[in-house]
Amino acid sequence: MSETTIDTNDLGEKIVRVLKTIFDPEIPVDIYELGLIYDVFVNEDYEVKILMTLTSPNCPVAESLPEEIREKVKSLDAVKDVEMELTFDPPWSQDLMSEEAKLELGML
């Protein structure tokens, strides 16, 4: 291992911190707590793949939100490339929201 090797778990945590700075325009909660991020993969080449969904297929930010996520995650020094994959299987539901998000929206 060279000194420049970055722990992929550490990088994963940094990616999550970035995701928590991005908000759904219709719901005042970040996309991570909202449950829109299904998975984040980081390979040994520091290429990132993010599997996500939207609150609905007709979401007004269907084009811009994945691009915003890609740009912000790619801005991390260690990240070489970011691939976004949008899925609606399973479809998003309020059950995917964190307790924190539900609390913030007065659902608890």
Count the domains in the chain.
1
Residues forming beta bridges with residue 42, ordered by sequence position:
48
Range of the domain at 64: 8-87
Residue 56, domain CATH: 3.30.300.130
Domain annotation covers residue 106: no
Domain annotation covers residue 2: no
Q: Give per-residue pLDDT as tens, 25-84.
A: 888 899 999 999 999 999 989 999 999 999 988 888 888 999 999 999 999 999 999 999
Report whether the peptide linkage leading into residue 90 is cis, meaning its omega lies within 30 degrees of zero: yes
Domain annotation covers residue 99: no
- pTM assigned to the model: 0.89
Domain annotation covers residue 1: no
Domain annotation covers residue 66: yes
Q: Which helix (H) or strand (E) holds 69?
A: helix 64-74
Domain annotation covers residue 12: yes
